Structure 1
Amino acid sequence: MMTVAAANNPLLPHTSELVVGTFAFAVVLAVVAWKLVPKIRTTLDERADAIEGGLKRAEQAQREAKQLLEQYQAQLAEARTEAARLREKAREEGAQIVAEMRQQAEAEARRIVEAAQATIEAERQQALAQLRTEIGALSVELASRVVGEALADRAAQSRVVDRFLDELEERVRAQEPA
């Protein structure tokens, strides 16, 4: 059957070795398929789940980050709006304060002017009274010299002075433009 040359050929296996090798290969293949393949499949499934879960978690984290960014931008816009409103309110209050201060200053100026006018009028009246007294005394003295007699009577002096001042006031009024 086999020739001597074929039996001594190291490349061709013996039939018994071929049968035992095939049987051993089948047993190893069955053990691998029965014990190792389920473990490998479980490990691969776990790894796939971990990768898919990681992707899902990453997507969830990205959605949450986007939502937080939108909330931050909304809060920022709201803060800017509030700041603008506060600036406008402060501007209005400043304008109101300036207007109130202006009114107070105008009222104070009017009060000062009125007080000054009252003081001037009082001083004018006092000066007129003093001037009237001095003019009266001078006019009595002048009249005494002109008439040649003494006007010792107080009532007579008063009449002369009043008549003189009335005439003087009429002349001043006549000279004033109408």
Structure 2
Amino acid sequence: MLDPRLFILNAEIGFNAGDMIVQLVMFVILLALITKFAWRPLMNVMQEREEHVANEIDTAEKNRQESERLMKEAQDELKGTRENAQKIIDDARKTAKSEEAEMIQTAKSEAERIKESARQEIEQEKERAVLALQEQVGTLSVQIASKVIEKELTVDEQEKLINEYLEKVGESK
């Protein structure tokens, strides 16, 4: 004989097909609602976030590449600027040396010109001094000679000397 307790236990533990169908339908409805209102928006947000992160990574990579390019350009420009600055310095040194040599040559030429001018001036002054001295000597000689002649010559001798001189002057004409 069957024990009535077994039926009660079966009813309590047992699977009721109607309840299972209702629960399955509710699960499907809940799954559809979650999919429509939660899962798709969540997936859309996740996809947008993934795209945003991918874009940020791409942008960061592009910025890094651009920074490297700009840094290389800046280094090249700095190198070129340094080369130009060195060239300018070298040119300035060459110019300074050539100007220095030119100034030294000009100074030497000017000193030589001044020296020559002074030498010519000294020579002219010497000639003037000699001429003045000769003139003075001549004048003094004439004065001395006239004094000596006046003292030593008599009037007759002076007349004779004058006549001889006049004759020589007349002959030379």
TM (normalized to structure 2)?
0.69
Is residue 2:83 matched to residue 1:81?
A: yes
AA in 1 matched with 2:111: A
Corresponding residue of 2:109 = 107
Corresponding residue of 2:99 = 97
Corresponding residue of 2:126 = 124
Is residue 2:148 matched to residue 1:145?
A: yes
Count the aligned residue pairs. 150
Counterparts of 2:101 and 2:90 in 1: how far apart (Å)? 16
Counterparts of 1:29 and 1:139 in 2: how far apart (Å)? 156
Q: CA shift at 1:126, angstroms?
A: 0.7
Corresponding residue of 2:29 = 27
Q: Residue 104 of structure 2: SS of its match in structure 1? A: helix
* Bigger fraction of residues in helix: 2
AA in 1 matched with 2:148: R
Q: CA shift at 1:13, angstroms?
A: 9.3
Corresponding residue of 2:8 = 3
Alignment gaps of 5+ in structure 2? 1-5, 166-173
Counterparts of 1:107 and 1:143 in 2: how far apart (Å)? 54
Root mean square deviation of aligned Cα = 3.3
Alignment gaps of 5+ in structure 1? 157-178
Deviations 1:137-172 (A, max 9, x none): 33441696399349997xx8xxxxxxxxxxxxxxxx
Counterparts of 1:135 and 1:149 in 2: how far apart (Å)? 23
Q: Residue 3 of structure 1: SS of its match in structure 2? A: helix
Deviations 1:103-160 (A, max 9, x none): 221121111111111111111001111111222333441696399349997xx8xxxx
- Shift of the 149–60 alpha-carbon distance from structure 1 to 2, 3 Å rule, reads farther
Counterparts of 2:36 and 2:125 in 1: how far apart (Å)? 130
- Equivalent residue runs for 1:36-75 within 5 Å: 36-75=38-77
Counterparts of 2:60 and 2:31 in 1: how far apart (Å)? 40
Percent of aligned pairs sharing the same letter: 25
TM (normalized to structure 1)?
0.68
Q: Whose radius of gyration is greater, 1 or 2?
A: 2
- Shift of the 133–25 alpha-carbon distance from structure 1 to 2, 3 Å rule, reads same
Q: CA shift at 1:39, angstroms?
A: 3.4
- Shift of the 55–112 alpha-carbon distance from structure 1 to 2, 3 Å rule, reads same
